[in-house]
Chains A and B, each alone.
Chain A
């Protein structure tokens, strides 16, 4: 309780969380954009089911999601062992923590991006097509730029969710210092130790600071892009 500045063990947890959240957001973003586009503009049977599947992590207990990931990707499971044979291991690694965070944040990300894509005037996309632009070019030059504030909001939400993800992470990859002990796991662990509440409190302060910064940054960027999009 005497020192305000976090110690090396606490810093490790903060940096790990930032790394996990960064990669979780970055890698899931293309998938999130693709899924949002599919849900916003797609027309095929099973669209409703897909929508439900995407939203499941939002409503399922995080422990259940973590356990399902463990069942699917543990080295003993067929998928897990197949991935392990090509060198991709998730269970009890920081990559697993990133995967768990990505899965938990995915519905939030998709939702924000989907709303933004739905708000883009299809008339502008039609206009681009009449000017000779292929579907891909229409998406890259009209839909995506106009939906950018939403994409950004989705990414920030997913990042914040990843920073705070606890249940699925601890179930899937446990709480290994330096490997899978993220910020929330570290807070939890310190709270279990006698005399650990000082460290826990310092991490709480860091959590709050990161969250506030993230929200401020996203607001600033979103406003800038809104101005740009309005012309």
Chain B
């Protein structure tokens, strides 16, 4: 599958001109509020008519302004999960779910996937925010779309609810086999979900590419925010230990993390915030931090402030570390320099570990 988008339009003060290709998996449009992300997905779904542009989904031309072609919204076969869910208030959950479905054959499996089987007879007004979001996702899935568009589906939820729903979205990504276009301005969400990233800034694509590469690019750290920047490390559960730690194999060695749910062999995506990573030239001894991995400095990026973003390769993967310029100079950190990265186990938040 592939989605190819190239659109340009004027929206009030915003001059939107965005082009990108979305391969399989979750393609996340990331940027600040007002950057034009929602307008892009609205143009893809047909809810917004750009001045110029072309949208092609799986070889099917949905929009070609030059040829005056625009497939109407209801024929695009794009499921849309809105930020505010937009459930039909006059219909029960079951009728909402089946609104766009041909039959109810997939109702059971999708309700199980999203954990909403017990809600079917309820009215949308009687649902919590998290339940509404999951029903909206189920409703879009049941309409049999070729692409799922999600516009900040978790933005209206509090932190706990978000953590509840992220695993469902991961299952969706891994099990439903449906390409997803995901709009978000939350780094933790895209770190958990995205396979491809499109960074949007003031109506333009700043950079796009594989999520792992962009998240570990030191020069992009300011885009995610220095405190939010961090690489995502693929890993695999090895064992659960009696003291509450989970042992995880990564390409550079073993990590010990606070209990992660999942059986042995379960693939994980571990987000390691740059500010939680320490760099040591010698392997530290008698230190409380449990995770020490050999690494090599690959790139440095000097920002405005006193900090430096250091990209390191550890095994086959890339990590980001945020250190002060003073430390970087004192340690003589230059590309090629061998060192060790030190990571406190407790620094990895449960929300930062997702299914890979």
Contacts and interface: CB of A to CB of B under 8 A. Distances in A.
Interface of A: 121, 123-124, 126-135, 138, 141-142, 145-146, 228-231
Contact of B99 (A131, A228, A231): A131
Interface string B36-48: 0000000001110
Contacts of A124: 86, 88-89
Contacts of B80: 126-127, 130
A128 B78 contact: no
Q: Which of B76, B82, B90, B123 has the most CB of A within 10 A?
A: B90
Interface residues of B, number: 27
Interface of B: 45-47, 72-80, 82, 84, 86, 88-90, 99-100, 123-126, 139-140, 143
Given A123-B84, A133-B99, 10 more contacts: A126-B73, A126-B86, A127-B86, A129-B72, A130-B74, A131-B74, A145-B90, A229-B89, A230-B89, A231-B89
Nearest to A130: B80
A80 B89 CA distance: 47
A37 B100 CA distance: 24
Contacts of B84: 123
Contact of B77 (A132, A133, A134, A230): A132
Contacts of A130: 45, 47, 73-74, 76, 78-80, 100, 140, 143
A146 B76 CA distance: 25
A134 B74 CA distance: 6
A123 B81 CA distance: 12
Contact of B47 (A126, A146, A228): A126
Contacts of A135: 74
A134 B190 CA distance: 33
A55 to B, nearest CB: 30
Nearest first, the 3 closest Cβ-Cβ pairs linking A and B are: A131-B100, A231-B125, A231-B123
A199 to B, nearest CB: 47
B88 A128 contact: yes
A131 B89 contact: no
If over half of B's interface residues share one DSSP class (helix, strand or loop), that class is named, otherwise mixed; here it is loop
Contacts of B77: 132
Q: Which of A146, A228, A231 has the most CB of B within 10 A?
A: A231
A142 B95 CA distance: 12
A230 B73 contact: no
A129 B74 contact: yes
Contacts of B75: 132
Contacts of A138: 74
A119 B84 CA distance: 17
Contact of B90 (A126, A127, A229): A229
A141 B100 CA distance: 12
A228 B78 contact: no
A230 B124 CA distance: 9
A146 B297 CA distance: 61
7 contacts: A126-B47, A126-B73, A130-B45, A130-B80, A131-B74, A131-B140, A231-B124
Contacts of A127: 80, 82, 86, 88
A133 B74 contact: yes
Nearest to A145: B90
Q: Which of A128, A129, A131 has the most CB of B within 10 A?
A: A131
A81 B308 CA distance: 91
B44 to A, nearest CB: 11
Contacts of A146: 89-90
Contacts of B82: 123, 127
B143 A132 contact: yes
B203 to A, nearest CB: 22
Nearest to B99: A131
Contacts of A129: 46-47, 72-74
B291 to A, nearest CB: 45
A75 to B, nearest CB: 48
A228 to B, nearest CB: 6
A134 B90 CA distance: 19
A126 B45 CA distance: 10
A123 B76 CA distance: 17
Nearest to B100: A131
Contact of B125 (A121, A141, A230): A230
B86 A123 contact: yes
Nearest to A228: B90
Q: Which of B74, B125, B139 has the most CB of A within 10 A?
A: B74
Contacts of A128: 88, 99
